[in-house]
Amino acid sequence: MTSGSPADSVPRFDRFKTMLRGLRASGMCVMYQDNDLNVLMVENAPEFWPSRREIMDGGDAMIFERKVAERVKSAKLGVIEDGIATRIEVPVVSEDQSRWFEVTVEPDTDPSGAAKGIFVAAVEITDLVHREQVLKTLLREVSHRSKNLLAIMQSIAMQTARFSDTLDDFLLKFRGRIQSLSQSQDLVTDSNWRGARFSELLSRQLARYIASNVGLVRRNGVDCYLNPNAALHVGLAIHELSVNSAVYGVLSEGYGHVDIETHKRDEGSESEVLEIRWLEHLAGAADVDAVRARFGSTVLERVVPKAVGGSAIYEIALETVQYRLEIPSSQYEC
């Protein structure tokens, strides 16, 4: 007695039942249509689709909206005419929401190669489409933010070059400013692009200058979340104030102290603003001309306030350095 293959030993009915169960588990709907697109068979249709009888009687028009049904019909007729399989992604409206399906159409031919019908398989891909949409949105957001960062870096490079005497001087200043942006950007990223809390921004920017003299800087007031744009520019302002202080002020000598205050102020008929105040009490007289003759003054008085849509005052006296930055409510949350 000759033995056949293992598949031949399985009863035809059991094989058919196994295939149907596998089909249901896969979530794939299968159809067969003749050359006139009459539906001769439909199995495993999604629950929210019309009934089998309705689909067999009305065809694609029962499943898809008119314009989508026309697109599906065109694709199927193309397969019948050309004999080349195709695949399209189409929406099906259910409870006012679009659910997406990948529809594959393959020709069924007779021995002579002439088309006699089509095999159709439809698989829901709604989750995949949504993920792709989210990814595209994120990529657009990353592109937008990258362009903003590049514009900021370009501005910093130009202004740094303008106020640098030598290449080494330029590189030293530019690296410091880029590092400042990087530190602020890390906080923004860690918050899932919400922004950065002022206290964290301050600590990150001051860390290298007050490692051994934490008591030189005193902070009080509200601790607001600055949005990503404000976080980058306020971080840059803190960096410039810190560098100035490390060269000419309290952080260079370890004498005196810096008071940093943040509070919200009601502008009456106008919107509320956040005022950030840096007040540096020097132990001795400052070289006012030396402090002002730096790019830092341009950042503090023009670049930062313009970027956040606010205003700023930078005042240098013999024994104090004061910087006040006002930020509109659209740039922070408290």
Nearest-angstrom CA–CA distance, 165 and 84: 70
pLDDT at 291: 56
Query: pLDDT (tens digit, 9 = 90+) per residue, 158-201?
Result: 888 888 889 998 998 899 999 999 999 999 989 988 999 999 99
Domains of the chain: 10-124 (3.30.450.20), 171-333 (3.30.565.10)
Query: pLDDT (tens digit, 9 = 90+) per residue, 74-98?
Result: 999 999 999 999 999 999 998 888 9
Query: pLDDT (tens digit, 9 = 90+) per residue, 206-216?
Result: 988 886 677 78
Q: Can you give the pLDDT of all 334 residues of the chain as single tens digits?
A: 455 555 555 565 577 677 777 777 788 999 999 999 999 999 999 999 999 999 999 999 999 999 999 999 999 999 999 999 999 999 999 888 899 999 999 999 999 989 999 999 999 999 999 999 989 988 898 888 788 888 888 888 888 888 888 999 899 889 999 999 999 999 998 998 899 999 999 999 998 888 667 778 999 999 999 999 999 999 999 999 998 888 878 888 777 889 999 999 876 556 799 999 999 987 665 555 655 555 468 889 988 999 999 999 999 887 889 999 999 999 999 8
pLDDT at 23: 73
- From residue 133, how far is each of 97, 105, 128, 189 by CA, in Å? 15, 25, 9, 21
pLDDT at 94: 85
| Residue entry with tokens 């594959």 | 104
State which amino acid sits at residue 15: R
Which helix (H) or strand (E) segment holds residue 106: the answer is: strand 97-109
Nearest-angstrom CA–CA distance, 296 and 142: 29
pTM over 0.75: no
State which amino acid sits at residue 94: S
CA 308 to chain centre: 21
What is the token pair recorded at 141? 């957001």
Q: Which residues of 119-134 are buried (b: 16+ CB within 10 A; e: fewer)?
A: bbbbebeeeebeeeee
